[in-house]
A and B are shown apart, each in its own frame.
Chain A
Amino acid sequence: MRKTYFIVSFVLFWILISPSSLMAGEGEGGAESENREAHGKEHFNTAGLVAHHTSDSHDYLVELPFFHKTIHLPVILWTKNGLSIFSSARFQGDNEGKVVVNDDKGNRLVRKHEIIYYADKIEGMEHPSLMDYSLRPLDFSITRNVLAIFFVFLLLSITLYYARKAYENPKRLPKGVAAVLEPIILFIRDDIAKENIGKHYEKYMPYLLTVFFFILYSNLIGLIPFAPFGHNLTGNILITFVLAAIALVVILASSNKHYWKHIFTPPVPKLIWIVMVPVEIAGIFIKPFALMVRLFANILAGHTMMISLVALIFIFESAKWGIVSGIFVVFMSFIELLVAFLQAYIFTVLTAVFIGLALEEGHEEEHAAEGSIQATR
């Protein structure tokens, strides 16, 4: 269990320091919010609503039935003049690049679509490039998603701590949280790890467990609509990017010579190598890439559906749609619940399969048989 805590902290740290932790604030509806001006009459901007509810932001709006508050999260930047920390309240809710913040280190900063730029560098630019790091400082802010990761960490720690406590007395059967988690953990150990990784599966159990529970909890809190839940964590491509990147590092770190021999010198007629070796090399990166996109797209699609179903009420501007939308949303929630578990399971299984592939050895019989066939010719 201590190892699990360790790895959870490691994953968190990595995600926290990813300098573009805010990049996905660009929002999928960025291009479509121009629809609003294009149309003559008032059109309910569903795409903008979806983008607003699924992307990251520096401010955390808590909207409960009797409690409305905007929590201005700290902005932490690594600028040309050093480390700069201030509250995002200084932007005064501006997201169009109008308010200039003068911080203590002498930088002048503006915020445009949740990305912070140097004010002088983007004078008059309509769509400044996100990737150009001469225009913007490195953003290590505590944004809404980082807060969500901390919250998931808290939930994981609490549930796993109580699960562990149930095993302290070896005479008692585990009850409570442990009883719920035990079949899941045993399932991961037997059907995912042992089956796919084989002999050395124990080394990878902490990592696989962490990945599974992190993705599962993140998916689940995305489904609950009120604060402190309701954060779109795995529907953010940067979060899934980090998860896939860590998976790639684990796979590469556990690959053995056999694996690389098969990639660069596959056991096929030499003429096919021209085609096969580039494909194999691309495959090393495409497999985690697919993991990333699969998780991201499934979860984002689910959240988009839910928000759109509720937005139907506003598009039709009729309260009766509230009942219809409500029923749709309830049914969609069941499907989304299934998808939440399924995607966590799929990510874990595929990671285990890839690790197993990288650890594979013992094809000597095949090569020996090949050699003997050639010898008898």
Chain B
Amino acid sequence: MIGAGLAVIGAGIGIGKIGGMATEAMARQPEFAGKIQGAMLITAAMVEGVALFAVIVALIK
């Protein structure tokens, strides 16, 4: 239970950082905004996948 909560904190921080750096990069070079958005979405899904690993393990226990 607590493990699942901690894992979600990690995911939150990670995705927040990804979003922050992505918007900063988009502000620096607006012409690449599309590509950066794509990369951001993929990376966010990966980080979320890792967090959900922990949730699944917590559920199974």
Inter-chain contact B53/A343, CB cutoff 8 Å: no
Contact of B52 among A28, A301, A342 (CB under 8 A): A301
Q: Which of B33-61 contact A (CB under 8 A)?
A: 41-42, 45-46, 48-49, 52-53, 55-56, 59
Inter-chain contact A343/B55, CB cutoff 8 Å: no
Interface of A: prevailing SS: helix
Inter-chain contact B41/A342, CB cutoff 8 Å: yes
Inter-chain contact A293/B48, CB cutoff 8 Å: no
Inter-chain contact B56/A298, CB cutoff 8 Å: no
Inter-chain contact A293/B53, CB cutoff 8 Å: yes
Interface centre among A293, A298, A343 (most CB of B within 10 A): A293
Per-residue CB contact flags for chain A residues 271-299 toward chain B (1 = under 8 Å, else 0) read 00000000000000000001001101110
B55's closest neighbor in chain A, by CB? A297
Q: How far is the CB of A247 from chain B (nearest CB, A)?
A: 15
Q: How far is the CB of B9 from chain A (nearest CB, A)?
A: 16
Whether A238 sits at the interface, judged by CB under 8 Å, is: no
Whether A346 sits at the interface, judged by CB under 8 Å, is: yes
Q: How large is the interface on A (under 10, 10 to 19, 20 to 34, 35 or more residues)?
A: 10 to 19
Per-residue CB contact flags for chain A residues 294-310 toward chain B (1 = under 8 Å, else 0) read 10111001000000000
**Set of chain A residues within 8 Å of B53, measured between Cβ atoms:** 290, 293, 297
Whether A142 sits at the interface, judged by CB under 8 Å, is: no
Whether A15 sits at the interface, judged by CB under 8 Å, is: no
Inter-chain contact B45/A343, CB cutoff 8 Å: yes
Inter-chain contact A301/B55, CB cutoff 8 Å: yes
**Set of chain B residues within 8 Å of A298, measured between Cβ atoms:** 45, 48-49, 52
Inter-chain contact A293/B49, CB cutoff 8 Å: yes
**Set of chain A residues within 8 Å of B55, measured between Cβ atoms:** 297, 301
Query: Cα distance A343–B46 when bound, in Å?
Result: 10
Whether A116 sits at the interface, judged by CB under 8 Å, is: no
Inter-chain contact B45/A342, CB cutoff 8 Å: yes
Query: Cα distance A24–B49 when bound, in Å?
Result: 20
Beyond A342-B41, A346-B42, A346-B45, whether A294 also contacts B52 by CB under 8 A is yes
**Set of chain A residues within 8 Å of B48, measured between Cβ atoms:** 294, 298
Q: Which residues of A contact B (CB under 8 A)?
A: 28, 290, 293-294, 296-298, 301, 342-343, 346, 349
